Amino acid sequence: MNTLAFEHLTVPTIVPVTDDIVFDEKDASILGFAIKWRATLMKPLVGDYCVLLNGEVRRIGAVLHDRVQLAHGGTFHLHDIGTMSHSGGRADVFFKDLLIDTGLTRSVSCWMFHHGHSGAGRGVDAIVPCRVWEVAP
């Protein structure tokens, strides 16, 4: 397999809207729980990486009944149960049966709600390990 070209990942600087919206121990606990649950889900998930036949690497933006749709830009929201949702453009669609788990994971950036409470301006950034899949020829 060729060297995979992942986008450059930088650890985000958390810039709170107010002084009380800062990633803290409670957020770390929620994040740890979400990461543990995500690791048990042995199937393609929103936010995972997909290596295409041409070597291009993209993130999964939607998981449909029997297909996945690749993301084109946007952001990823981590839910407290380890799943993610994507907000942004979508691109190619593949049947899930064509995806092979490479056994690799890659750290990805996402955001989650501070203390698990939704609302405008309550997002904090996080880094989560996600699986890397490849499309079978």
Question: Residues 71-107: pLDDT tens digits?
Answer: 988 999 999 999 999 998 888 898 999 999 999 999 9
pTM of the entire predicted model: 0.82
20 inside domain: no
Q: Tell me the one-letter amino acid at 137.
A: P
14 inside domain: no
Asked if the model's pLDDT at residue 16 lies above 50, the reply is: no
Alpha-carbon gap, residue 42 to 12, rounded angstroms:
28
4 inside domain: no
Structural domain containing residue 92: 25-135
Q: Does residue 71 contact residue 60 with C-beta atoms inside 8 Å?
A: yes
- DSSP type of residue 120: T
2 inside domain: no
36 inside domain: yes
66 inside domain: yes
5 inside domain: no
6 inside domain: no
User: Into how many domains does the chain fold?
Assistant: 1
